[in-house]
Amino acid sequence: MAKSVAAVAVVVRSFLLCLFSSQIAAAQFAATPTGIPSLRPRLPNDTLCNHLILPAGYPCSEHTVQTKDGYLLALHRVSSRTGNISEQRGPPVLLQHGLFMAGDAWFLDSPEQSLGFILADHGFDVWVGNVRGTRWSHGHVFLSEKDKDFWDWSWQELALHDLADMICYINSITNTKIFVVGHSQGTIMSLAAFTQPDIVEMVEAAALLCPISYLGHVSAPFVLRMVNMHLDQMILAMGIHELDFRSDWGINLMDSICDGHVDCNDLLSSITGKNCCFNNSRVDFYLEYEPHPSSSKNLRHLFQMIRKGKFSKYDYGLIKNLKLYGQLKPPIFDLGHIPKSLPLWIAYGGNDDLADVTDLQHTLKELQSKPELLYLENYGHIDFLLSVNAKKDVYDHMIRFFRSWGKSSSSY
């Protein structure tokens, strides 16, 4: 009895939480009929739906989610080419992209090869996340991207605000628990968010591609070079808050890191590890979308993790930590707080220089549950998104996992 009362209370609370945030969003739109401040000046038709999803023949709509700290995120909803949307949809699944990427990452190859399309074809109600600062997100209710404060966040806010508020939004619309898929930084965000009881209660199960929580064993030469030259401190000291590798500044920076120190002939390999199964003739097309901007503070947070080997909040230094967190060291995200009852599925690769196998063992040791594991010896970090064989190697297994945890009524 007490248990069911508690369960009802939890549902009501999360419902109110979501309702509250979408009402703020509605009020905001009403108050600014001239439109939301846009991150990049772009045409109204310049949306992810119009670029990659509608042209492939898939129904696609864009939703705007306002985070608790005022960012306006684009969330895309995609469904099957053949299905009838007004009939019952399959279970919702949220795709959460990685660092320097956005929702486009799930749609860059053909419909037969790309996870976003494949899930839609299998009848899932596909929701595509885009974090703050990326090309598809819509800025902030009062900050401009030129403001230093616009970029004052790291993956900690992406986890506790962006991911949490997107999950909440989808939950409030579909009234169903959600499957979550994360890649790379999307898994850092997921694991951090799942340690929070009010977020994880809205999640049915999760699939993690190249999961990261510990980063102490990163071996990518390009990344280690940036860590050793203290690039993170350098750029913040220079007053650079937005990290955009497409800017002139970003291009010069890449040149100076490569100069004589790292073999950048195969730049991607020196960042991610060797990817086995790319379609090389598509790289120019990928580069029309990647990389997306992120914040210098986020880079600094990631480098703190590489240096210290901890999965914790942003380290501001002793005094500010004490002020913000009430302790000298930043609080850790305790993976032991992720409920044992949350089904987890993990895919990882032997050539992944970012999500290292030793670091993954560390993660697994701290989880209460035993996730299902899929190991692909020749896969690098980006193969999990763009391998020409990913459907057979990875996605078919993921879908089988989701089906085994879905509600019995499923027709997907």
Ligand X SMILES: *[C@@H]1O[C@H](CO)[C@@H](O)[C@H](O)[C@H]1NC(C)=O
**Closest residue by Cα to residue 358 from 220, 162, 246, 212:** 212
**Residue 51 found at the interface with ligand X (CB under 6 A):** yes
**Residue 279 found at the interface with ligand X (CB under 6 A):** yes
* Distance set, CA 273 to CA 254, 267, 402 (Å): 17, 10, 28
Answer yes or no: 184 catalytic: yes
Q: Of residues 43, 284, 288, 323, which one binds ligand X by CB under 6 A?
A: 43
Q: Do residues 404 and 372 touch, judged by C-beta distance below 8 A? A: no
Q: How far is the CB of 200 from ligand X (least distance, A)?
A: 34
> What are the structure tokens assigned to 406, written together?
């879905």
Q: Do residues 274 and 380 touch, judged by C-beta distance below 8 A? A: yes
Question: Three-state secondary structure along 2-17?
Answer: HHHHHHHHHHHHHHHH
Q: Do residues 257 and 222 touch, judged by C-beta distance below 8 A? A: yes
Pairing between strand 60-66 and 72-78?
Answer: antiparallel
Q: How far is the CB of 50 from ligand X (least distance, A)?
A: 4
Catalytic residue among 381, 383, 387, 393: 381
Using alpha carbons only, give the angle 306, 96, 147 rounded to the nearest 5 degrees.
Answer: 70
Catalytic residue among 104, 125, 315, 352: 352
Total residues at the site for ligand X (CB under 6 A)?
A: 12
* Strand-pair partners of 73: 65
Answer yes or no: 381 catalytic: yes
Question: Residue 151 is which amino acid?
Answer: W
Residues from 233 through 262 that contact ligand X (CB under 6 A): none
Residue 300 φ/ψ, nearest 5 degrees: -65, -40
* Residue whose CB is less far from ligand X, 34 or 45: 45
* Residue whose CB is less far from ligand X, 87 or 248: 87
**Residue 50 found at the interface with ligand X (CB under 6 A):** yes
Q: What is the CA radius of gyration of the chain?
A: 20
Coil/strand/helix, residue 348: strand
Task: Say how many residues make up the chain.
Answer: 412
* Residue whose CB is less far from ligand X, 87 or 288: 87
> What are the structure tokens assigned to 91, written together?
């279970």
Catalytic residue among 184, 294, 295, 312: 184
Q: Of residues 4, 34, 265, 281, which one binds ligand X by CB under 6 A?
A: 281
Q: Of residues 388, 397, 405, 406, which one binds ligand X by CB under 6 A?
A: 388
* Residue whose CB is less far from ligand X, 84 or 256: 84
**Closest residue by Cα to residue 409 from 90, 44, 119:** 90
Which one of the spans 58-66, 121-129, 154-162, 275-283 is the region binding ligand X (CB under 6 A)?
A: 275-283
Mask of contacts with ligand X, 81-120, x by CB under 6 A? ---x-xx---------------------------------
* Residue whose CB is less far from ligand X, 128 or 354: 128
Which one of the spans 39-47, 90-98, 145-153, 200-208 is the region binding ligand X (CB under 6 A)?
A: 39-47
Coil/strand/helix, residue 342: coil
Which one of the spans 45-53, 254-262, 269-277, 305-313 is the region binding ligand X (CB under 6 A)?
A: 45-53
Catalog residues that contact ligand X under the rule CB under 6 A.
43, 45-46, 50-51, 84, 86-87, 279, 281-282, 388
User: Which residues are tagged catalytic?
Assistant: 184, 352, 381
